[in-house]
Amino acid sequence: MTLRIAADADELDHDGAELFLRIAKDSVSTRDRFAVAISGGSTPRGMHHLLALEPRISDMPWAETHVFWVDERLMPYDHPDSNYGSARDDFLSRVPIPDANVNPMPVNLEPHAGAAAYGQCLAEFFNHPSIPIFDLIVLGLGPDGHTASLFPGSAPDPSGEEPWVISVTGGNPNVTRLTMNYNVLNRARHVGMLVSGAGKADIVRRIHSKEPPLLPAHYVVPSSGPMIWLLDRAAAALLPEGVGHGTG
C-alpha cells in the first residue's frame, strides 16, 4: 500500500489526474492499451475535469484508453445521479476518446440481466476466461465504509465465487445499482482510493487501523498490484502522525 496526503482538495485532484495519466502511459507502452474503471460521487470530478484540460488532454493516449464503470445507479444517463452522465459531462464528451472505447453499465435492463450483460461485456473485452485485470480501478470511500456499491450489511462474501458484476440496493439515494465485485476490484494492477473531506476522516482511520467490525472497504486488497490511497489533509486528519509521505 502507498499513501499520499495532499494539502487540500485541489492538490488531490492534481494527484489523481497525474496517477491516471502515468498509469495510462505505462499501460499503453507495455500492453498497447489502457483499461480503466472509474467511480461516481463528487470526489473524482475534479480529477476528471483536469483530464480534459491541457496539458493532460494532449498527453493522454485517448485512442488506446478504454473506460468502464465500477458501479452505476439504475437511472437514466441524463439523471444528475448517473455516474456515466457525470463522467460524460465532466470529461468524456470533451476529450478525443473513440465512442467505442466508452463502456457504460446498462441501465435499461432488469438488475440481474444488466449485471450479466456487463459481465459479458468484460468477458468479451478481456477475451480471457479468468477474472478481468484492469490497469487501474479508481474507487471512493463512503462515510459508512462502503466502496463501489458494496455496502455494509449487504455486500457479498469477499471470499466467495461470485459473479464479476452484481446488482444491489442501497446507498444515498437508496436505489438499485450495478457494481463490480471484490473479485474484479482485487485483480487490478493498480487500485486508487480517492478520499476528500473531514467527514471521511474517521472512516479512513478505521479502515487503516483495521478496526472491527470489518467494512466493505477493508476487503479491497489487490493481489496483482498496489493499493494507492490519495487523501487530502482533512480526510487524513485522524491517521497516526508521520503516515502518508509515500507517493503512488
pLDDT exceeds 80 at position 12 = yes
- Tell whether omega for the bond before 106 is within 30 degrees of 0, i.e. cis: no
Mean pLDDT of 213-239: 95
d(CA 84, CA 194): 18
Task: Give the model confidence (pLDDT) of 104-163 as tens digits.
Answer: 999 999 999 999 999 999 999 999 778 999 999 999 999 999 999 999 987 677 766 789
Amino acid at site 10: D
Mean pLDDT of 203-227: 94
pLDDT band at 242 (very low <50, low <70, confident <90, very high): low
Cβ atoms within 10 Å of 172's Cβ, excluding its own: 9
Identify the CA nearest to 79 among candidates 37, 122, 40.
40
Identify the CA nearest to 24 among candidates 66, 68, 52.
66
pLDDT band at 248 (very low <50, low <70, confident <90, very high): very low
Confidence (pLDDT) at 11: 98
Topology adopted by domain 2-232: Rossmann fold (3.40.50)
Across the chain, what does the average pLDDT equal?
A: 94
Task: Give the model confidence (pLDDT) of 163-208 as tens digits.
Answer: 999 999 999 889 999 999 999 999 999 999 999 999 999 999 999 9
d(CA 211, CA 59): 41
d(CA 7, CA 133): 32
pTM: 0.95
pLDDT exceeds 80 at position 245 = no
Reduced 3-state DSSP string for 38-83: ECCCCCCHHHHHHHCCCCHHHHCCHHHEEEEECEEECCCCCCCCCH
In the chain, where are the structural domains located? 2-232
